[in-house]
Amino acid sequence: MPISLLGLDADDTLWHNETFYRMTRQRFNELLADFVDAETLEAEVEATERRNLGLYGYGAKGFTLSMLETALSVSDGQVSSRVLTEILSAGREMLRHPVDPFPGVREALEELSAQYKLILITKGDLFHQESKLAASGLGSFFSGVEIVSEKKAETYARIFSRHGAGPDHAAMAGNSVRSDVLPALEAGSYAALIPYHLVWAHEDAPLPTAHPRFAELPSLADLPGWLAGIARSSR
């Protein structure tokens, strides 16, 4: 069926995000080095963050709270106020990091928006994600913005039906197999993976390489050609 609606992820699809998390984790490791080794601390903060997703959701604010909780836990409450202040400062820096679209993204969105209705579909804190979109200068390309707590099949079915003719006439593109690809395919839409060189372990999953509606593309610039091929095959 012809595609009229295209959903796009934001973080690590349109601009850098995981890079800043990795930098903050490194700083966190250094701050807690007197209490625990880096490998153990990485495992602890990862477990804490996963446990807290249902309470804080995704994003830098929840991650900051999880770092504070982890610091208190691994130090048996002995961590200094100076270190806690440094962790809070690191969290604020994540919220203020520059939002620079990847090379070629603006040009790709110009081409895509001329042919399809574009919807930004992203997880995270509402205020932070809206701020990043505004800072990116890409907002005018999107007909709608959906900031959701989780990306599930029913999430995509609802969004694609609200903004278009339903999942059969929609495609989703992003850097996460777990969030951008698998649930979109389950909903009945097409899905394209646009890999980013850093992947949060929570977002990793096996590629559905045999699925007829899936493709892995080198960059956003390859989306128009892939969608055009789908249109030709559906005639």
**Is 5-15+100-233's fold the same as 18-95's?**
no
Evaluated on CA atoms 137, 120, 101, 12, the torsion sign reads positive
Q: What is the CATH number of domain 18-95?
A: 1.10.150.240
pTM confidence score: 0.89
CB-CB contact of 120 with 172 (8 Å) = no
Homologous superfamily (CATH) of 5-15+100-233 is: HAD superfamily/HAD-like (3.40.50.1000)
3-state class (DSSP) for residue 8: strand
pLDDT tens digit sequence for 183-219:
999 999 999 999 988 777 777 788 898 999 999 999 9
Confidence check: pLDDT of 18 > 90: no
pLDDT at residue 231, as a whole number:
84
- pLDDT-derived band at 52, boundaries 50, 70, 90: very high
CB-CB contact of 170 with 189 (8 Å) = yes
Nearest-angstrom CA–CA distance, 225 and 141: 19
Mean pLDDT over the full length of the chain: 93
pLDDT at residue 136, as a whole number:
96
Could you state, in order of their start, the residue ranges of all structural domains in the chain? 5-15+100-233, 18-95
